[in-house]
Amino acid sequence: MRKLLAVVGIIALAVPLLARPVAAAQAQEPGGNPTGVLGPVNALGQEVQRPPAPTGPPPRLPDGTIDLGDGIWVGSPFGADIGIGLKRGEVLPLLPSAQALMASRKGVDDPVNWCLPLGVLRSSPYPFRFIQNYTHKKPTHMYILSEWMRMYRQVFMDGRRHPSELDPTWFGHSTGWYEGDTLVIDTVGLNDKFWFDRRGTPHTERLHTIERWTRVDAGHLVQEVTIDDPGAYSRPFTVTFQATLSQPGDELMEYVCQENNQYGVASGSANPFAGP
Amino acid sequence: MRRLLVVSMTLLGLSVGVPAQQRTGSIPTGGTPLVSAADASRPVPRLPDGRVDLTGPWVGGGSNADIEREGGLKPGELPLLPWARKLRDSRREQDEPYTICLPMSVPRINPFPWKFAMTYTSRGLSHVYLLHELGDSGAHRVVYMDGRQHPVDVVPTWWGHSIGRFEGDTLVIDTVGYNDKFWFDSRGTPHTEQLHTVERWTRVNFGTLVNDFTIDDPGAFSRPVQLKFTAQHVRLDVDLMEFICLEDNQYGIAGGFTPAQPDR
């Protein structure tokens, strides 16, 4: 099962599928066709038929804030190409240096292949969920958990500012607050190692992102991200995506990427993050 | 900073027989700053609904180098079956799956901070997450608090399937469905897929969290065994840091080790 999941993970990473195949114990249905727990299995794999996401009003916390954490979100953001989130006709305002870097990048060098973090804006095609913590103080942290490597992002909701001097990290330093029903997350202190997408869309350590998450109805979450990185782009720009609520009862599964990760060995690629 | 963290991991996480480790139920906390003694003795904080706030961050509360000693037993008291004792004695510290950034799992809470994230949702406390500074080597663990039962047929995983409930002020976490790949400690104390653990987490004052821990694994132990660990609250202004174990992990190469891959 673990190997199957890992295989599914790799396939999903390479080609984000709209319906994620589910590895399931196969059985024979009366007609002789194999069937999984979710329905028939054909040459394309497990067919997953799921009802559409709900459209009612979004649930609210006792204090009136919109609840982002009552389920699993899928489908947002990024993955294959950050550019699909741009307005129609707009192109990424890449500086020449960034354009050259992007052109030099090969898919085999994507840090994700080495089980390294997806960074702040890329979670697709893996499910994720928001965890609003609950303490004796006011809610002080928001966590964003990803099925990818079980990693979490930490967003400080207690009104603190970014430190003046940050060590660049994969997830940076994030502060958050609500503007009406929109959760705003402001992040700096990011390293330049992760890629925005499979195409290798780059950034520098000067990257500053502002995410605006709005749950427009019970089943849909719009993410609008302003990317401000004068090291790689000639102007700030905004990309927009939408995530969909997964079915009630769905939970994040365990995915341990590095367990028997044969990527480098099998492909003959050298880990670009290994030291000298 | 990254290198420093990696170095401290090697020193603290992997060294056996840490001399300072005399007190039972505790593991070395390394350089992690703790709350002052005065703060630690303050009363247990409570949520608006009266429930005890377990958040933390905490350091300690589980095993690291030797579960037998750290859990409060005398040498030889851990009721391992003969084959399991033999396996433990044959294991080399450098072969622990954790050295290649695989999850440490339960109750291996190393010298790194961790915290409970109690969820605040429109449906009440539906999940409790344990967030580990260990990052990619098992960053989070989920405990279902909605009253569900364990599935009848659990696929073995590194973290198993955990359900939780409050008994008074104690959070009780019941877990089955573990794989047999992780080690309880760097000494190599083993278990099987029959492992069933019960953690009873009680915050006795502001700065102290006790983990009464039951191992029930008829595959590797002759009887269930009761252990006790204590976690200490991290200083109030300290938050979990980012640690990506896999980034430039030179363990095998630099140490000349080729750890046994659990899947082989």
Buried/exposed code over B17-42 (b: 16+ C-beta within 10 A; e: otherwise): ebeeeeebbbbbbbebebbeeeeeee
Strand ranges of the sheet holding A27-28, from the earlier edge strand across to the other edge: A27-28, A34-36, A39-42, A45-46
pLDDT, one tens digit per residue, over B112-167 is: 899 999 998 888 899 999 999 876 667 889 999 999 999 999 999 999 999 999 99
Tell if the CB–CB gap between A143 and B1 is shorter than 8 Å.
no
Interface test with B, best of A67, A123, A149, A191 (most B CBs within 10 A): A149
Percentage of residues of chain B with pLDDT beyond 70: 81
Residue B182: CB atoms within 10 A of its CB come to: 22
Q: What residues of chain B lie within 8 A of the CB of A115, using their CB?
A: 101, 136, 246
**A163 pLDDT higher than 50:** yes
Mean pLDDT for all residues in chain B: 84
Q: Kindly indicate the confidence band of residue B27, based on its pLDDT and cuts at 50, 70 and 90.
A: low
SS3 B95: helix
pLDDT, one tens digit per residue, over B28-63 is: 666 789 999 999 999 999 998 889 999 999 999 999
Q: When comparing pLDDT for A156 and B109, which is higher?
A: A156
**Beta-carbon contacts of residue A195 (< 8 Å; ≥ 6 apart):** A105, A110, A111, A112, A119, A122, A201, A202
| Chain A with chain B: Cβ pairs closer than 8 A | 122
Residue type, A113: N
Tell if the CB–CB gap between A154 and B46 is shorter than 8 Å.
no
DSSP 8-state code for residue A273:
T
SS3 B230: strand
Residue type, B129: Y
Q: Residue A152: beta bridge partners?
A: A145
* CA–CA min distance B10, chain A (Å): 17
Tell if the CB–CB gap between A254 and B158 is shorter than 8 Å.
yes
Task: Specify whether the CB–CB gap between B186 and B160 falls below 8 A.
Answer: no
Q: Mapped to the 3 state alphabet, what secondary structure does A66-116 carry?
A: ECCCCCCEECCCCCCCHHHHCCCCCCCCECHHHHHHHHHCCHHHCHHHHCC
- Determine the residue of chain B that is closest to A130 in CA distance: B119
CA–CA distance from A197 to each of A16, A130, B62 (Å)?
Answer: 11, 22, 39
Q: What residues of chain A lie within 8 A of the CB of B127, using their CB?
A: 131
Residue type, A108: V
Buried/exposed code over A52-80 (b: 16+ C-beta within 10 A; e: otherwise): ebbeeebbebeeeebbbbbbbbbbbbbbe
**A266 pLDDT higher than 60:** no
Interface test with A, best of B47, B237, B247 (most A CBs within 10 A): B247
Q: When comparing pLDDT for A250 and A202, which is higher?
A: A202
SS3 A167: coil
Cβ-based burial of B233 (10 A; exposed 0-12, middle 13-18, buried ≥19): buried
**B229 pLDDT higher than 90:** yes
CA angle A70, A74, A75 (to 5 degrees): 145
- For residues A132 and A139, what is the distance between their CA atoms, to the nearest angstrom? 7
Q: Kindly indicate the confidence band of residue A259, based on its pLDDT and cuts at 50, 70 and 90.
A: confident
**B76 pLDDT higher than 80:** yes
CA angle A36, A251, B124 (to 5 degrees): 140
- For residues B110 and B132, what is the distance between their CA atoms, to the nearest angstrom? 10
- Determine the residue of chain B that is closest to A169 in CA distance: B242
Tell if the CB–CB gap between B246 and A59 is shorter than 8 Å.
no
**A265 pLDDT higher than 60:** no
- What is the pTM for the complete model shown? 0.83
Tell if the CB–CB gap between A273 and B129 is shorter than 8 Å.
no
Tell if the CB–CB gap between A254 and B242 is shorter than 8 Å.
no
Q: What residues of chain B lie within 8 A of the CB of A251, using their CB?
A: 142, 144
**A213 pLDDT higher than 50:** yes
- For residues A11 and B93, what is the distance between their CA atoms, to the nearest angstrom? 35
ipTM, two decimals, is 0.81
Q: What is the pLDDT of residue A180?
A: 94
Between A114-128, A257-271, B164-178, the lowest mean confidence (pLDDT) is in A257-271
In degrees rounded to 5, what are phi and psi of residue A6? -60, -40
* CA–CA min distance A208, chain B (Å): 18
pLDDT, one tens digit per residue, over A107-140 is: 888 888 888 888 888 876 789 999 998 888 878 9
CA angle B52, B160, B54 (to 5 degrees): 10
**A274 pLDDT higher than 50:** yes
Task: Specify whether the CB–CB gap between B84 and B91 falls below 8 A.
Answer: no
Token readout for B54 is 């377990």
pLDDT, one tens digit per residue, over A24-63 is: 334 444 555 566 666 666 666 666 677 889 999 999 988 8
Find, among B2, B78, B217, the residue nearest to A170 by Cα.
B2
**A14 pLDDT higher than 90:** no
**A104 pLDDT higher than 70:** yes
